[in-house]
Structure 1
Amino acid sequence: MAEIIVPELAESITEGTIAQWLKKPGDYVEKGEYIVELETDKVNLEVISEEAGVVQELKAAEGDTVQVGEVIAIVEAGAAATGAETKAEQTSEPQQSEAAPVQATQEPQEQESSNTESKERLIASPAARKLAREKGIDLSTVPTVDPLGRVRKQDVTTFSNQPKQQTQQQPAQAAAPAAAVQQDGKPVERVRLSRRRQTIAKRLVEVQQNAAMLTTFNEIDMTAVMNLRKRKKDKFYEQHDVRLGFMSFFTKAVVAALRKYPAVNSELEGDELILKKYYDIGVAVSTDEGLVVPVIRDCDRKNFAEIEGDILAVAKKARDNKLALSDLQGGTFTITNGGVFGSLLSTPILNGTQVGILGMHTIQTRPVAIDAERMENRPMMYVALSYDHRVIDGKEAVGFLVTVKNLLENPEDLLLEG
């Protein structure tokens, strides 16, 4: 007998939720084959079976919370092989007169069994399985363009957006992800929050309860950055095979400002302030399951192309639900860009134990006073710095934000900052 145990997840994560059993009692599982999908506070992961055999028992149901080290399933090692040998012995010497009818009656059963096995062994990403489960979609009905037959999240999304008549052949019980109930005579729907959404809610409340959070605002004339990007973007792409965006400019400006105001790159632990001498910048990425903040390491040592490439890579991993726990840990400061959704102004909330977060917003053409006599339409962006007032005074916070503003309005100065 082999036990399926919840593996070590990360230093700060001690439990997870059974998102989906990929095998059920009686199913055969190969050694190294995925048997269950776990949902943790930060990422989803699939657990493999260390032995080949038949699943005898599932000790936790989908939706149950399980602890690291807990036994969640039992696999009887080698059970399938024994069963196959027995079946071979029973069918090796059939009577000649009965051979034909036996074959005729077993063929449909074997075909049905093969179809069932193929359905159970369907290869799909954790994100695809989760989305299909939420939308009540049978993954075996979802077409994929992947050459290996792996169903991706994009495939499920495309399939779910097809006209109703194309998907109406799905089982009736899969039509709705959650049953509607009546409340005061009005229809409502109850949807269980995912573990990640529960954790996001919990952490945001904790931050507001445990930090003296305050926000200061400013605006940046983006003319110089936009003109520089326009002149250099084609050559930049040819040389580095990555597009020059705004995030690398903001990241480099933030690093320069953190060097000038080191308290903003710190963490409060009891009565001690931990001043961090490295610059690992978190970049907030929106996914279907909520906001995640993968970390770009050593931004002070990277050029614009390296930063843009790293941001592109972690954003793709986040949306494909392939982030590792190490991708999300250890950030010293965070940048969030609500402008991609059209936000004009907002107050970002601190990320975990960090004491500062910069909020970017949409670029909007507005009339700006150049001097006492001239007005011009300029591409302007509001920026916001939320900070922990227990650590940072208003003077430092305003100075930090003004430094970011000045560097972005004079982007050549970023080269002098290293």
Structure 2
Amino acid sequence: MIEIKVPELAESITEGTIAEWTKKEGESIEKGETIAELETDKVNVEIKSEHSGVIQEFLFQPGDNVEVGQVIAMLGEAGAASAPVAKEPVQETTAPVQEKVAEPAKAEVTVVDKNSTSRKAVASPAARKKARELGIDLNEVSYRDPMGRVRVEGVEAHKQSLEAKKAQSVESKPAAVAKAPVQQDDRVERIKMSRRRQTIAKRLVEAQHNAAMLTTFNEVDMTAVMDVRNRRKDAFFKKNGVKLGFMSFFTKAVIGALKSFPFVNAEIQGDEILLKKYYDIGVAVSTDDGLVVPVVRNADGLSFAGIEKEIGALSEKARTNKLSLNDLQGGTFTITNGGIFGSLYSTPILNSPQVGILGMHTIQRRPVVVDKNDTVEVRPMMYLALSYDHRIIDGKDAVQFLVKVKQLLEDPEDLLLEG
């Protein structure tokens, strides 16, 4: 038999949940074919067979948790069949059977040690009968006559003693609280959380418990960005084959602000601060299974088109469940856009161990005072939120970081120069 084991996944992943078997017991499988899909904390992983053969048995069911290195299925060699065991024919014999003459049984002599506590108790026939009726071990009866023999009175006294002790034990125990039977309600559906949803919940709670998280807010006038998009979107798409979206502007603005405030691009390790001089920007993507944060690597070295292409590719992989572990690992800062769902104002939670996350929101046309003439105009406005770890980022730096993002977005020329 050939064992199918959970392969090594990544240094931080030690277990997963079997999402589904892609084959059935009794089916043939070729080397390299997928036998199961494993749901881990971050991504779904296909487990491929390293051998060809016939699937003999699945050792786990979908929904079961398994660990790296654990045997989850058994294969038989291809084409092999278990041959029935041939029984040898019973040969008849014509030889005469000699009857053995039974020897008289020898009396079995038992030597009893008078000092042994395990010797058989001496009791009258009536006492033995009574003990059998009451289920009493004669060796436990302490009521004996002067000759050491157990009599009927002793058996009965021992029985009464046992019942008294039992009653006393019951009285000393608190009355058991009867559990109310669980009533089924057709109006309620009980659904087990997926491993990814459990991990999201766990990490969000850990982020709030382990970091001194605060949030500062500002708003940005999106007039200039929207004007650039409207003027350049056709030429941009024709040249690059991708639409010019808002995310490239925000990614560039964030990178410009991170270069001015490097502690927002840091990480706490023990009693040390790890300043990261590279810019791997995580972009939160919502999927049916929950929120994932794939990472745009070396975003500061990418053009607007490069950022849009990378975000588009990662988003598509997230929606089709094709993200790899490498797509999700690392990241120095995260951007999340609740505005695509209509959120006007929210507080994003840190993506640990990062110390900063920017929340974008929906664009809403509101009346604002324009500086040049103190006139009121209707402008496309967006609220921004920066959640940060106050352990290493002071409030002043957090506010100025967000102001820097605002300035770069409201003046795209500076964004192009500094981003």
* TM-score (structure 2 length as normaliser): 0.74
Who is 1:274 aligned against? 274
Who is 1:404 aligned against? 405
Describe how 1:21-40 pairs up with structure 2 within 5 A: 21-40=21-40
Cα distance, 1:183 vs structure 2: 5.1
Cα distance, 1:287 vs structure 2: 0.3
| Residues 412 and 67 (structure 1), Cα distance of their counterparts in 2 relative to 1, 3 Å cut | same
Who is 1:345 aligned against? 345
Tell me, in whole angstroms, the C-alpha distance in 1 between the residues paired with 2:80 and 2:258. Answer: 65
Which one has the bigger helix percentage?
1
SS at match of 2:243: coil
Contact 1:182 1:188 survives alignment (8 Å): no
Cα distance, 1:416 vs structure 2: 1.5
1:417 aligns with 2:415: no
Tell me, in whole angstroms, the C-alpha distance in 1 between the residues paired with 2:74 and 2:335. Answer: 45
| Cα deviation code 1:299-345 (max 9, x no counterpart) | 11111000000000000000000000000011000000000000000
Aligned length: 321
Tell me, in whole angstroms, the C-alpha distance in 2 between the residues paired with 1:379 and 1:69. Answer: 55
SS at match of 2:234: helix
| Cα deviation code 1:88-108 (max 9, x no counterpart) | xxxxxxxxxxxxxxxxxxxxx
Describe how 1:120-135 pairs up with structure 2 within 5 A: none
Tell me, in whole angstroms, the C-alpha distance in 2 between the residues paired with 1:311 and 1:385. Answer: 21
Who is 1:196 aligned against? 196
Who is 1:329 aligned against? 329
Tell me, in whole angstroms, the C-alpha distance in 2 between the residues paired with 1:345 and 1:306. Answer: 29
Contact 1:360 1:383 survives alignment (8 Å): yes
Cα distance, 1:184 vs structure 2: 7.9
Larger gyration radius, structure 1 or structure 2:
2
| Cα deviation code 1:32-54 (max 9, x no counterpart) | 22111110011112111111111
* TM-score (structure 1 length as normaliser): 0.75
Who is 2:55 aligned against? 55
Who is 1:73 aligned against? 73
Tell me, in whole angstroms, the C-alpha distance in 1 between the residues paired with 2:268 and 2:67. Answer: 29
Who is 1:265 aligned against? 265
Identity %: 68
Tell me, in whole angstroms, the C-alpha distance in 2 between the residues paired with 1:72 and 1:186. Answer: 35
1:226 aligns with 2:250: no
| Cα deviation code 1:332-390 (max 9, x no counterpart) | 00000000000000000000200000000000000001147410000000000000000
Give the residue type in structure 2 aligned to 1:189: E
| Residues 237 and 185 (structure 1), Cα distance of their counterparts in 2 relative to 1, 3 Å cut | closer
Tell me, in whole angstroms, the C-alpha distance in 2 between the residues paired with 1:183 and 1:312. Answer: 48
Tell me, in whole angstroms, the C-alpha distance in 2 between the residues paired with 1:352 and 1:266. Answer: 11
Identify unmatched segments of 5+ residues in structure 1. Answer: 87-180
Tell me, in whole angstroms, the C-alpha distance in 2 between the residues paired with 1:412 and 1:205. Answer: 40
* Higher mean C-alpha displacement, 55-64 vs 392-401: 55-64
1:210 aligns with 2:203: no
SS at match of 1:18: strand
| Cα deviation code 1:169-227 (max 9, x no counterpart) | xxxxxxxxxxxx98585620001111000100000000001000000000000000000
Tell me, in whole angstroms, the C-alpha distance in 1 between the residues paired with 2:66 and 2:349. Answer: 30
Tell me, in whole angstroms, the C-alpha distance in 1 between the residues paired with 2:301 and 2:375. Answer: 41
Give the residue type in structure 1 aligned to 2:328: L
Who is 2:94 aligned against? none
SS at match of 2:225: helix
Identify unmatched segments of 5+ residues in structure 2. Answer: 84-180
1:390 aligns with 2:391: yes
Give the residue type in structure 2 aligned to 1:416: L
Give the residue type in structure 2 aligned to 1:321: N
Cα distance, 1:27 vs structure 2: 2.1
SS at match of 1:400: helix
Give the residue type in structure 2 aligned to 1:308: E
Cα distance, 1:31 vs structure 2: 1.8
Who is 1:125 aligned against? none
| Residues 229 and 206 (structure 1), Cα distance of their counterparts in 2 relative to 1, 3 Å cut | same
Who is 2:295 aligned against? 295
Give the residue type in structure 2 aligned to 1:398: V
Give the residue type in structure 1 aligned to 2:418: E
